[in-house]
Amino acid sequence: MNCSESLPMKILFLSKDEAKIKVDTLDDLWHLSRLIEPEDTVAGAIVRKVKISKEDEKARAKREIYFVNIRAEKIVFEPSAVRVTGLITEGPDELALGSHHTLDVRPGDTIKIYKAWKPFQVKRLKDAEAATKMPTVAVCVLDDEMANLAEFTPTGIKYLAQLQLGLAKKMFAEKVEEKLGKLIAELANMGKSHEILVIASPLFWKDEVLKRIKDKHSDIVEKIKLEDVSTGGKRGIVELLKRGALDRIVKGSALQMEFEMVETLMVGIAKETGLAVYKIDKIKEAAAAGAVKILLVTEKLIEKLREQKKYQELNEIFDATEATKGEIHIVSSKYEAGEKLDGLGGIGAILRYKV
């Protein structure tokens, strides 16, 4: 969703045990699905069908809206909603307290979340609010074989399309317009729906693309940033992050920072510096000693431990890390940084000193 077409998520009220939030984008829903936990109470509107009928008429149904509090048991992220299922703890007389129901949170909704908000959760909530104010960034990485289109979002890299090009040098003079025509049209659409368009290639193709965009779609030229990469494909898109391209374009990008922290962890582990650890027992020991500077945990591990009823051990690590001013970052498992961290068990820590 283009942030220029929607309002950013809004924190309407925030205290140590309550947050009131106005939801506006699909990215907002993703963050909420990671912030709402079992045993949290979520307040919002639910819709139920109520049967109505008059004498000598067939039964009909109408939709009624009720405002309820639900103690969460299960939280599911879907493409257009976060579904919070649990027990009704407060609501109108028509709904039995203690009965199960599902609260669907969608863009445009306002909800309240009651919980003991941890500092890292408050930070994520505020970061999510700030992220929706950042410019939208579309990406095209191409070589003479294909072009990969994607966008950098607050929650990671979203791959959009892959276009086969087959631009062999011997075909350049005769076929380049035909081969690049479809790509130029796609980039023109992306340039209109995004605030920044990054075009990168290992060869001269980015310059050729820019030349044609200037000729046919001059209205988006100011949005274009050219970058060098050593390879095409999805690896080239990831390379943009490795080279810090996103941070040069959008200062303070959470996606760029997340990627770099995982890379720092991986390098530290490979070099056996003693300042990077990844097994949960070692991290627990380091956190208790006040040595954890940065704690990285994947969403996949959090969900796994919740399902196994083993989340308390991780929660103790969170508490110990925050008590000694360490940073906590929850990493999405959907993208490369999270995949790498999941390969290590879903958790890693960069230390202040060896333990």
Q: So where are the chain's domains?
A: 3-130, 137-249, 259-351
* Identity of the residue numbered 40: D
Q: Which two tokens stand for residue 297?
A: 């945990």
| Residues 196 and 249: beta-carbon distance below 8 Å | yes
Residues 6+ apart with CB under 8 A from 300: 333, 338, 342, 346
CA 243 to each of CA 61, 120, 270, 301, 328: distance values in angstroms, whole numbers, following the listed order: 58, 27, 20, 28, 24
Q: Which CATH class is domain 259-351?
A: alpha beta
Given CATH 3.40.220.10, say whether it is the number of domain 3-130: no
Pairing of strands 224-228, 196-201: parallel
Residues 6+ apart with CB under 8 A from 43: 67, 68, 69, 70, 90, 111, 112, 113, 114
* CB-based burial label for 269 (10 Å; 0-12, 13-18, 19+): middle
Please give the distance of CA 281 from its chain centroid, rounded to a whole number. Answer: 28
The pLDDT of residue 243 is 83
Q: pTM of the entire structure?
A: 0.66
Given CATH 3.30.420.60, say whether it is the number of domain 137-249: yes
List per-residue pLDDT tens for the chain, 355 residues long. 333 344 567 899 999 999 999 998 777 887 888 899 999 999 999 887 766 665 555 666 677 889 999 999 999 888 688 999 999 999 998 888 999 999 999 988 999 999 999 988 998 888 878 776 678 899 999 988 899 999 987 667 888 999 888 776 555 556 667 778 889 999 999 999 898 999 999 888 899 899 999 998 999 999 999 999 999 888 999 888 888 887 777 765 677 888 889 999 999 999 998 999 999 999 999 999 999 999 999 988 988 888 888 888 998 999 999 899 898 888 888 777 888 999 999 999 999 999 8
* Identity of the residue numbered 330: I
CA 103 to each of CA 42, 70, 115, 168, 238: distance values in angstroms, whole numbers, following the listed order: 8, 8, 17, 55, 37
Cα separation, 193 vs 290, in Å, equals: 46
SS3 for 195? Answer: coil
Radius of gyration of the chain from its Cα atoms, rounded to whole angstroms: 24
Q: Which residue has the tokens 């109108």?
A: 92
